[in-house]
Structure 1
Amino acid sequence: MLQKVAVVIPCFNVKKHILEVIDKIGSEVNLIYVIDDKCPEATGDYVNSYCQDSRVKVIFHPTNRGVGGAVVSGYREAIAAGATIIIKIDGDGQMEPALIPKFIKPIAGDLADYVKGNRFFDLDLLASMPKLRLIGNALLSFVSKMCSGYWDIMDPTNGYTAIHASVLKMIPLHKLDKRYFFESDMLFRLNTVRAVVYDLPMAAKYGEEISHLKIGRVMLIFPCKYINRFFKRIFYNYFLRDFNIGSVELIVAIILISLGLIFGLYNWYLSIQRGIPATSGTVMLASLPIILGFQSLLAAINYDVTNVPKMPVHKIWESLE
């Protein structure tokens, strides 16, 4: 099947880099969408004035929608134009366009539905990454594994991505987070449709550009969003769309741990009120359900880890057409 490739570039204060980024995009790409997200530097007008590449189309936002909102606009345009694979890169020059063929290959080869960059693969290349960002991304990666269900990926905030259009059509684009949680939210949405995600090793490249993703903002906003996505994923995948052994193990864990805690706390309260220490039998009756419950919880986690999607969704849908 002939692949039509589109590149989406959200733009906000990247005027001095955008033309160089576009120039580096190879002939394997058919369409390029530059989204001016109410850029103070008028990047969109600058591209229209100085870029001669016929593949480029500039989309203007009358108000700032955030990086997620800008990418979604590009996604919609690419889908409408009949793109098969859609790449997302930033316009600040930190993502090397020469890697685009490598992002295309796993999807075109029916190995994955979604490809994202991973700056943690090569330990030697991590030397160029700021230490605070390295620690923060490592912690975010672990939290993202639990919330998204993709236990085999790292670097969840990496914005260099590629996705098959048929999978993108399955995702409610209007529900995707519009700001900096966009990449993590995308992983959650992909898991709900059982899409295969592939980590592509890439070098960490940092120039003089200032990151808009602040640690304080992450600490304040991301935890609530991650918790929300975690419970939604568990409900969607283990109770709404499917009911499997992992569902049973999770239910058993909740019941046993709850019973053990309630029984233990009640008897602890009685021992304080009466001034009589609880017997060893009472302690065991409280502890045993909790221990068994945690064993069931570990079994549920193990099932979740081994239940990472393996068969590309776009391949299944194409075989049915």
Structure 2
Amino acid sequence: MPSNQTSPSSDARASARIAVIIPSYKVTRHILGVIAAIGPHADAIYVVDDSCPDGSGRYVQQHCTDPRVRVLFNPVNLGVGGAVMAGYAQAIADGMDVLVKIDGDGQMDPALMDDFTLPILHGEADYTKGNRFFDLEDVRAMPRVRIFGNAVLSFMSKISTGYWQIFDPTNGYTALHAAVASRLPFDKISRRYFFETDMLFRLNTVGAVVLDVPMQARYADEVSGLRIRKIVGEFLVKHLRNGVKRVFYSHYLRNMSIASLALPLGLVMLGAACVYGGYHWVHSAQAGVATPAGTVVLSAALLMGGLQFLLAFFAVDMASVPVRPLHLTASVRRQRGVLQQQQDPQAGRAQP
């Protein structure tokens, strides 16, 4: 067996095909500059016009001469997630190996693309994403509302996705190995602003390795449609839903450990402490008498015991982050090869 079937090598890196996906919606002022800044390492560029009212897709077709560019059109507006997944699907069908997503508004520097693709090509990760919070000087330059919003969303994301080591979950500068993308349920992934976070949840369910990449965002005259106050409630509900699903999948369906016992015990003890202690506190207050010492001690013991069990659960959960890249496993690589051969027998034989 050739060695490049078990781990990426310099030969695999040289032969890997890299695609850039650019969702296009009201970015006519910036998109040509973004495309022009994409270096020669990209083999294909997919501009996905998400039913843009400004006709940005047609604008690219008329003014861009880069032979790598292909414009796709969504007949209806599907949101950023729908546009990206349309680009993913076409890139996978064309036999691409690494799928890089860059926004068309100029906030993301295409010159950083190697920082996102090399960890995947070197077998260190399945999915890389940007993190704008590594450099304190860069953080000071960010709008305060973005700092606060991302801090809140990052904390919720850690619980719902299981990737405790990452930050800035809504960052849209990402790269994904095509073999891992082929295993994701595109029809179930959120298509709008929750897309990046929902992607992380789906990646955890298949055991993909995710890596943060330090980057600097650029804020100029671009217009963002994201309003933190409008999406906090929606995000909270979706994080709760995904968190419950992830815990069930990770600690009860696919595997069981001490965390599987610690979580229910912790929740039951905390609930008992709140109900038992709260009832007696209210009863004593109404009667105008002191709460018996035994009642206080028992409530405190239940509370402390519940907290200890929950901390034990989180300790195990944090240690359960995937560490072996999924795209290196033989079954995934075989599946990828079979899919490519079904789509194009010649391209399938040409892949490493």
Report the TM-score, using the length of structure 1 for normalisation.
0.94
Match for residue 325 of structure 2 among 301, 312, 315: 312
Corresponding residue for residue 200 of structure 2: 187
Secondary structure at the residue paired with 2:29?
A: helix
Corresponding residue for residue 282 of structure 1: 295
Match for residue 302 of structure 1 among 312, 315, 336: 315
Corresponding residue for residue 150 of structure 2: 137
Match for residue 60 of structure 2 among 34, 37, 47: 47
Tell whether the 8 Å contact from 2:326 to 2:332 is kept in structure 1 after alignment.
no
Q: CA deviation at 1:278?
A: 3.9
Corresponding residue for residue 132 of structure 2: 119
Q: Is the alpha carbon distance of 1:277 and 1:73 closer, same or farther for their aligned partners in structure 2, counting shifts above 3 Å? A: same
Kindly tell me the number of residue pairs found equivalent between the two proteins.
321
Corresponding residue for residue 345 of structure 2: none
Q: CA deviation at 1:81?
A: 0.9
| RMSD between aligned residues | 1.9
Counterpart AA for 1:44? G
Secondary structure at the residue paired with 1:15?
A: coil
Corresponding residue for residue 266 of structure 2: 253
Q: Distance in 1 between matches of 2:277 and 2:160?
A: 30
Deviates more, 1:93-102 or 1:105-114: 93-102
* CA deviation map 1:20-50 (0-9, x unaligned): 2111111111111110011111111111122
Q: Distance in 1 between matches of 2:105 and 2:99?
A: 19
* CA deviation map 1:150-201 (0-9, x unaligned): 1111111110000011111221111111111111111111111121111111
Counterpart AA for 1:29? A
Report the TM-score, using the length of structure 2 for normalisation.
0.86
Q: Distance in 1 between matches of 2:308 and 2:183?
A: 36
Q: Which runs of 5+ in 2 are unaligned?
A: 1-11, 335-352
Q: CA deviation at 1:283?
A: 2.4
Corresponding residue for residue 18 of structure 2: 5
Q: Is the alpha carbon distance of 1:245 and 1:40 closer, same or farther for their aligned partners in structure 2, counting shifts above 3 Å? A: same
* 1:108 and 2:106 are equivalent in the alignment: no
Counterpart AA for 1:94? Q
Corresponding residue for residue 209 of structure 1: 222
Q: Distance in 2 between matches of 1:85 and 1:113?
A: 9
Q: CA deviation at 1:73?
A: 0.5
Match for residue 100 of structure 2 among 65, 76, 87: 87
Counterpart AA for 1:237? S
Q: CA deviation at 1:10?
A: 0.3
Tell whether the 8 Å contact from 2:24 to 2:50 is kept in structure 1 after alignment.
yes
Q: Which runs of 5+ in 1 are unaligned?
A: none
* 1:24 and 2:40 are equivalent in the alignment: no
Q: Distance in 1 between matches of 2:330 and 2:37?
A: 33
Corresponding residue for residue 338 of structure 2: none
Counterpart AA for 1:184? T
Q: Is the alpha carbon distance of 1:173 and 1:320 closer, same or farther for their aligned partners in structure 2, counting shifts above 3 Å? A: closer
Aligned residues: percent identity? 47
Match for residue 233 of structure 1 among 246, 251, 261: 246
Q: CA deviation at 1:261?
A: 3.4
